[in-house]
Amino acid sequence: MRTFQSWNALVKKRNALFEGGNCGFKMNQLRFMGVICTVMLFIVYRTTNYQYLKTEMEAKFHPFETVKDYRSHNGKLGGLPRGIMQARSDLELRPLWSSNSQSKASVMTNKNLLAMPVGIKQKDNVDDVVKKFLAANFSIILFHYDGNVDGWWDLGWGEKAVHIVAHNQTKWWFAKRFLHPDIVSVYDYIFLWDEDLGVEHFDPIRYLRIVKSEGLEISQPALDPNSTEIHHRITIRAKKKRFHRRVYDLRGKTKCSNSSEGPPCTGFVEGMAPVFSRSAWYCAWHLIQNDLVHGWGVDMKLGYCAQGDRSKKVGVVDSEYIVHKGIQSLGGTGHPTMRTTVKRHGASSFDLRTEIRRQSTWEHKVFKERWNQAVEEDKSWVDPFLNYQRRSRQQKRQDN
């Protein structure tokens, strides 16, 4: 009996020693793993911080290029030290000489840009618009489609604007060629307006204050209900609102209800007076087709450039509104009720505006075909608004 008890005690003692050693081993293992985790976290932190600083340097010298983009250009730019490179420009006029040019060389005060196609027949109206924007410290670029630049020098601000001439070209033709994102990336907002807009009830500074506070990447001022031409109900001014993002209308062919989730019911501005943030314009410039100069159909797709949900990032500002006068100067008479006819040699005369509308309709058809083909061919592209629509429906079900 004693022998059995002694043997049992010996076994228990052995097990206790084994368990104690095992526990000690586990404790040492935990300490070792803790050291390894700490080292790994430190390495991840240093790597992430390095990548962040490198990206910041890239953004400083190449605001729209990634590190990968820069390396792909290395063969062409390898002869330059990186600190001397400037990947962007602006539309600011520089003096030929100045007594304190050294201090002025890097100073830029204008942070926003107004770009307009203009003809001499609309000189008085353009004068009213430009004066308002100059008072708000905007840079001005005028696209002269009629070739007449000399007729503008008598205005007090004529020499303060940039003037570009190309006969019978449209706003979108000019924008694609002269408003490249690298050229206008210094500006916070780009106003790409038509020339036949009345600005008596519009203030650029108050307008941008609303745009910034509401996070609108793409916007336009609302249209006075008494405007000569109104094409979409969402653009009409709502008198009791500061701004709106959607419209409700069950009349007509296009019905806009609470379930409507796309243009022209929400996430839409028209092509006559769009306003883009820097990021939105970077996207929109790539959307504009080089050869489809009338731009028809582009406004329906601008929401894809809103840097997020178009039903939230696109809007119409009501408290600062404009009047659309509907004066067709390019290819027209400069008067809203008159037609322009041209006579071909040995042929009957034809109406210029009719021909322009026919061309615009054809371009619209081509643009839609290109969009559909691009969607079909790009297998990696996913329509971002399908996800927004699913979430919206789920949220509505939960609320109900």
Structure confidence by residue, pLDDT tens digits, 141-175: 999 999 999 999 999 999 999 999 999 999 999 99
Average pLDDT, the chain: 82
Q: Report the pLDDT value the prediction gives residue 47, as an integer from 0 to 100.
A: 72
Pairing of strands 341-343, 349-351: antiparallel
Query: pLDDT tens for residues 204-257?
Result: 999 999 999 999 999 999 999 988 888 899 999 999 999 999 999 887 778 888
Average pLDDT for 366-384: 93
Q: Is the pLDDT reported for residue 103 higher than 90?
A: no
Q: Which residue has the higher pLDDT, 68 or 122?
A: 122
* Out of 104-108, 179-183, 287-291, 307-311, least confident range: 104-108
Q: For every residue of the chain, which 3-state class applies, written as one string?
A: CHHHHHHHHHHHHHHHHHHHHHHHHHHHHHHHHHHHHHHHHHHHHHHHHHHHHHHHHHHHHCCCCCHHHHHHCHHHHCCCCHHHCCCCCCCCCCCCCCCCHHHHCCCCCCCEEEEEEECHHHHHHHHHHHHHHHHCCCEEEEEECCCCCHHHCCCCCHHHCEEEECCCCCHHHHHHHHCCHHHHCCCCEEEECCCCEECCCCCHHHHHHHHHHHCCCEEEEEECCCCCCCCCHHHECCCCCCEECECCECCCCCCECCCCCCCCCECCCCCCCCEEEHHHHHHHHHHCCCCCCCCCCHHHHHHHHCCCCHHHHEEEEEEEEEEECCCCCCCCCCCCCCCCEEECCCCCEEEHHHHHHHHHHHHHHHHHHHHHHHHHHCCCCCCHHHHHHHHHHHHHHHHC
Q: Report the pLDDT value the prediction gives residue 398, as an integer from 0 to 100.
A: 59
* Out of 8-22, 139-153, 170-184, 287-301, least confident range: 8-22
Distance from C-alpha of 143 to C-alpha of 123, rounded to nearest angstrom: 13
Q: How much of the chain, in percent, has pLDDT values that exceed 70?
A: 74
Q: Report the pLDDT value the prediction gives residue 394, as an integer from 0 to 100.
A: 59
**Torsion, CA 164, CA 168, CA 171, CA 175, rounded to 10:** -50
Distance from C-alpha of 59 to C-alpha of 67, rounded to nearest angstrom: 9
Burial (CB < 10 A; 0-12, 13-18, 19+), residue 15, is exposed
Q: Report the pLDDT value the prediction gives residue 205, as an integer from 0 to 100.
A: 97
Q: Which residue has the higher pLDDT, 89 or 217?
A: 217
- Maximal C-alpha separation, the chain: 135
Q: Report the pLDDT value the prediction gives residue 67, as an integer from 0 to 100.
A: 42
Pairing of strands 218-223, 189-192: unpaired
Q: Please answer whether residues 216 and 314 qualify as being in contact, where contact means their C-beta atoms are separated by less than 8 angstroms.
A: yes
Give this prediction's pTM: 0.75
Q: Please answer whether residues 203 and 139 qualify as being in contact, where contact means their C-beta atoms are separated by less than 8 angstroms.
A: no
Residue 62 — very low, low, confident or very high, per pLDDT cuts 50/70/90?
very low
